Amino acid sequence: MALKFGVLALVEAKPGKEQDVWEFVSGAREIVMNEPETKTWYGFHVNENTFGIFDTFETEEGRQAHLGGAIPAALGEHGPELLAKDPDIRLVEVIAVK
C-alpha cells in the first residue's frame, strides 16, 4: 500500500461550540468508514478550540472522491454555526510512512 496523497484539515470552534465540534469530528469516523478509498483517517484535538482531521489515500482519485463526499458536505452545512472561521484544508503529499 503506497499512501502518497493526504488531506489535512484544521478547524477552529466558535467560543462555546468546542464540545459540538468535538462531537462532529468524532462522529465523522462513522461516515468515513464507508469510504473504501480513504485508507487512514484521524480526528484529533490540538488545543482548546482547534481540531483537525488527517486522512490518506493511495490515489488522487481516492482523495478527490473523499473531498466530494459527506464529511466536506457536512462541514459546509454545519460550519457556519460551529466554526470561528473557514476550515484550513490542505492537500498534502505524503513522503514517508511507517
Cα Rg of the chain (Å, integer): 13
Residue 40 phi/psi, 5° resolution? -135, 150
User: Distance between CA atoms of 40 and 53, rounded to whole angstroms?
Assistant: 10
Q: 18-75 pLDDT, tens per residue?
A: 999 999 999 999 999 999 999 999 999 999 999 999 999 999 999 999 999 999 899 9
Distance (Å) of CA 40 to CA 7, 44, 53: 10, 13, 10
User: Distance between CA atoms of 19 and 24, rounded to whole angstroms?
Assistant: 9
pLDDT at 1 over 80: no
pLDDT at residue 8 in the model: 98
- Which set of grid coordinates corresponds to residue 49? 478550540
pLDDT at residue 83 in the model: 97
pLDDT at 90 over 90: yes
CB 58 within 8 A of CB 16: no
What does the pLDDT average to over 3-18? 97
